[in-house]
Amino acid sequence: MFKTNALSAAALAYLATIALPTLAQEQPAQQLERVSVTGSAIKRTNVEGPAPVEILTRKQIEKTGATSINELLRSIPSIDIFDQGELASNSPSGSGTANIKMRGLSSSEVLVLVNGRRAPVSALYDSSGAGAAFDINTLPIGAIERIEILKDGGSAIYGADAVAGVVNFITKTDYQGIEATASYGQSSRNDGKEKRVGLAAGFGDLTKDRFNILFGLDYLKRDPILRKDRELSSSVDFRRYGGLDARSSFAPTGNVIDPNTGSFVGVTYADCPADSLNGTRCRYDFNKSLLTAYNGADRLSAMTVANFQVTNDVKAFAEVIYSTSKDHFDAHPVPDYFIVPITNANQKPYEILDANGNGTNTVYIAGRFMQGGPRMTNRKSDFLNVATGLEGSVGNYDWKVNLSRGESKVNNHDFNYYDAAKWADATTSGKLNPTVTTNDEAYVQSLKVDPQRTGKSVLSTLNAQLSGDVMPLPAGMLRFAVGLSVNRETLSDQPDKIIQEGNVVGGIAQSAVEASRTFKAVYGELSIPVLKNVEAQAAVRYDKYPNASATSPKLGVKWSVLPTLALRASYSGSFRAPVLKQLYGGQEQGATTVTDPASCTKLGVALDSNGECQVAAFQVNGSNANLQPEKGKSWNVGAVFEAGSTFNASVDWWRINKTNDISTPTIASAIQQGLFTKNGARFDIFTNLQNFAEHQVEGVDIDARLRFPGTRLGNVSVRNLTTYYVTNKSRSGASDPWADYNGTYVYPRFRNNLILSTDIGPWSYNVSWKTVGGFWDTDNAYPIAAGTRRVGGYETADVLVQYDGFKSWELGLGIQNLMDRMPPLSLTNANSNTYTQMGFAELYTNRGRFFYVSAKYTFR
């Protein structure tokens, strides 16, 4: 952080020396139109109100060079990054999706709006609630006019479930003309190619023609990057970096297991290639082929927005946003436990015994059936959002009413999986030898199934709002807003019956869910001019769910101490009911490996001579019908400094306290609580949802901007954004000690983005220097164990040059990650299949240096 701040200070000092002689005089104050800003239902002339709101304009978005919303968010320090959905290709519900996280909290605690209205959550998400959020990959970046981020926690206006904040994506709504865009990019290693084209066309003038119709189209095609094509992720044998050999024990040649303990006994079933043998166990390196380091994408989006001036005081609108994406994901051939014939005398002591204790001439192995080919998933995702409404004014009152319906639909179609009943008969009878590739192909095909899973999430909403003036006060006009919201939410998640029954070999048992609920809310807000230089905001919201209700307040104040300095503070309460699947979903399970010595001891498995262990197990997640709503309190105290058009800055301290926090206990925690059973040779570990007692996050946001017009370098601007985390801790009970995770795996203490830009005639230059702080290489809480390694910080530089000197054209040439920085090594990621096992935290990508060109043509 000190390095980045030093760089920022040096840049500011240098630019000041060349720019001070030509600083422009501050322009006289002008009468500004009142507009709506996220965070308040009352229109205002000053966007800097009592609550901190970060706004990204269309021009700022274009200067990032991002081709997707998810990539764009990497340039915003206040947005947390945990990008497993874009990096991993073997997650049944998460691959190909992207969600927003803020303030160290989960993605389901960020309220995402599209044009001020709620968006539906993704159709497929885990029973844990992970991924129960709007998939931002369904939004085309070309349709976004600006993004407004409300950062002071729960919102009494949009929904008290906005625990971490509100992100409002605002699309283009009134446009005239035709604009075509295209871009192409690829990594310096000649992979990860991206092609994007877009079209926007608008007709009609609201003032003259009394209508405007806008149509937009956006298409993105991205090739995947494979793990094998980057050195760090090319092998999961991380001994070369001082880590563990994380290659799978489910090897094609098989490893014999003691049927009584589930432990590996140090005997391979068939001869193991020398380079795959580690001691007495055969290994399989799943990073050497198939798996992606960065997923591909094939996304098409369309948008139509129509505005009609019904009368001078009434406007109607209709809006349709549609997107569809097709993805293909590969996973390795099926791993499983097999009962197979004994092939040599070394296996005899570990033969399976019958009910009478007699040998059966069979052994239990962990193997992988290579002849069956890679498991594959074709995923099709569709998003449709339709909205219509009226808004207008009567005297000093503004009103609006709208109806919207958002639908997210996903279909996963799997291939190269097996019917469990047929599979058991084939392997135990000896008809199929899972350790060879010479079985009868027709017979192998007869065992296969291609199950599907279809999910549909729908959110229908009615919103109505009235705002206006109440009465003049000595310090100004008292203004109000009142509103109501009625929401109907439905979720359908329908895996094929064979998946629900857990009878798919190589798949994960998934439960069907059909659930719905209606929730309602009313809210009111006041903008109170206490003094000429003191503005107060007071709001309250009442939410009613089928089994819970709550009243959530919001209070804010802004004190303009000087014409150049304002202080602000706000407090808000939040209330978040469990999502549908957390309440009504079933249980899901997936393979895992337990390596923690304390956990192995608790399971009753002996450690080896090195004090280490590896126990193959299944992690069982699931819903909990007894979950209670989460509740939160948020505080924000800050200062805003403005020196004309030259300099402005804001500093905000924030804290969020949560109680009844819904979370999944770690595998180690579940084992220590005794939440496990032994199922044959394997262990089932239950990590079902629980209400943890408390969660507290605290930090500071800094945003500083300098503008130097008319210098020898052109119109220069410098902006530095920083988010610094003071703490991120939780505890399971009021008498329990805090467990602080700040500065540990995927929770860096700070993120920073320094942006320098200038315009010289038709040329525009933009440089962005992004920094992510380092962290302790552990996902355990403080105190940090002695000898724990430190993961260093990560810095990347992006550059973009644009030229608009040709009539109707705007051309761009950019390089992302100019210095071709690879992510820093994380052994926590490398050693645990809870994560992607690419050797680095999911805060980054290993795409490396990326070149791109862009063009925009405006038909005049």
What would the pLDDT profile of 507-546 be if each residue is shown by its tens digit?
877 888 899 999 999 999 999 999 999 999 999 999 999 8
For residue 460, the model assigns a pLDDT of: 96
Is residue 775 domain-resident? Answer: yes
Is residue 422 domain-resident? Answer: no
CATH number of the domain encompassing residue 641: 2.40.170.20
Is residue 428 domain-resident? Answer: no
For residue 310, the model assigns a pLDDT of: 95
For residue 91, the model assigns a pLDDT of: 63
Cβ atoms 256, 363 nearer than 8 A:
yes
For residue 20, the model assigns a pLDDT of: 35
User: What pLDDT digit, counting tens, does each position of 495-508 carry?
Assistant: 999 998 889 998 87
The rounded distance, in Å, linking the Cα atoms of 806 and 22 is 29
Indicate the DSSP class of residue 577: P
For residue 391, the model assigns a pLDDT of: 95
Cβ atoms 53, 150 nearer than 8 A:
yes
Is residue 348 domain-resident? Answer: no
For residue 12, the model assigns a pLDDT of: 38
The rounded distance, in Å, linking the Cα atoms of 592 and 619 is 6
Is residue 214 domain-resident? Answer: yes
Is residue 445 domain-resident? Answer: no
Mention every residue, 6+ apart, whose C-beta is less than 8 A from residue 266. 279, 280, 281
Concatenate the DSSP letters of all residues of 479-547 into one string: EEEEEEEEEEEEEEEEE-HHHHTT-EETS-----EEEEEEEEEEEEEEEEEEETTEEEEEEEEEEEETT
Is residue 30 domain-resident? Answer: no
Mention every residue, 6+ apart, whose C-beta is less than 8 A from residue 557. 50, 530, 534, 535, 536, 537, 568, 569, 570
What DSSP element (H or E) covers 442?
A: helix 441-446
Is residue 264 domain-resident? Answer: no
Task: Output phi, psi for 757, to 5 deg.
Answer: -145, 155
The rounded distance, in Å, linking the Cα atoms of 172 and 198 is 14
For residue 27, the model assigns a pLDDT of: 40
Instruction: Name the E strands within 644-749.
Output: 647-663, 676-679, 682-686, 690-711, 714-731, 739-740
Listed as ranges, residues in the chain with pLDDT below 50 are 1-32
The total of structural domains in the chain comes to 1
Print the domain residue range for 185. Answer: 2-23+39-248+285-334+369-415+451-859
The pair of structure tokens assigned to 438 is 């010479």
| Alpha-helical segments (H) within 332-380 | none
Cβ atoms 707, 745 nearer than 8 A:
no
Q: With b meaning 16 or more CB within 10 Å and e meaning fewer, what string describes 144-183? A: bbbbbbbbbbbbbbbbbbbbbbbbbbbbbeebeeebebeb
> Is 512 exposed, middle or buried (CB count within 10 Å of its CB: 0-12, 13-18, 19+)?
middle
The rounded distance, in Å, linking the Cα atoms of 744 and 827 is 12
For residue 690, the model assigns a pLDDT of: 76
For residue 853, the model assigns a pLDDT of: 97
> Is 77 exposed, middle or buried (CB count within 10 Å of its CB: 0-12, 13-18, 19+)?
buried
